[in-house]
A and B are shown apart, each in its own frame.
Chain A
Amino acid sequence: QKEVEQNSGPLSVPEGAIASLNCTYSDRVSQSFFWYRQYSGKSPELIMSIYSNGDKEDGRFTAQLNKASQYVSLLIRDSQPSDSATYLCAVAGGTSYGKLTFGQGTILTVHP
């Protein structure tokens, strides 16, 4: 079992819809949670970071963290075709110290 698991994709949503991406992690003492966006052949780009239980909003993006359930999610509102990419959930801290442990990624396609 991977330490970080993401919901299986690919995920396809129409333009303007809400895209929901989910992630679970196994290390209960993890401290930091990140969502990165990666276009094919490019480097991961930070979308959101979240450290405390609850919701964190930044523009069209909302990250949700539930440490009791070891679950983190990302909602993308008003999805745009330019949001089409692979979204990587990453976890750090705890027994992993600073290194990022990534999920396998979810491919999101936003169609016009």
Chain B
Amino acid sequence: AAGVIQSPRHLIKEKRETATLKCYPIPRHDTVYWYQQGPGQDPQFLISFYEKMQSDKGSIPDRFSAQQFSDYHSELNMSSLELGDSALYFCASSLGGTSGTDTQYFGPGTRLTVL
């Protein structure tokens, strides 16, 4: 079965640079969630989209922005990168909106390292 695809899998950036992370949800899934997981921490919710509209926002810095496109893929744009942004970034997709009852399937993640 098709899974969530994330690219790139690994990314190394310098401080103050920008980064773009991409997420391709499972086919027919209309909802995308972004999570950040720092070393030794649990995943923290950043932002979500349902039917190409932002549906919820968590602890996402103002330096970050995201959107969902017409083909339902999503991109997380990160600017003015800081050392503390180094983390695993997961995208998850589900079908049916943000009621909270739908199972979220996680992508393999993007490991971002900021030097």
Which A residues lie at the B interface, using CB under 8 A? 30-32, 34, 36, 41-46, 49, 51, 88, 92-94, 96-105
Contact = CB atoms under 8 A, between A and B. Distances in A.
B42 A97 contact: no
Given A98-B33, A98-B56, A32 B101 contact: yes
A103 B42 CA distance: 7
Q: Is the interface of A mostly helix, strand, loop or mixed?
A: loop
A103 B41 CA distance: 9
Contacts of B104: 34, 46, 92, 98, 100
B8 interface: no
Contacts, number: 76
Interface of B: 31, 33, 35, 41-45, 48, 50, 55-56, 58, 88, 90, 92, 94, 97-109, 111
Given A43-B106, A44-B90, A98-B56, A51 B45 contact: no
B109 A43 contact: yes
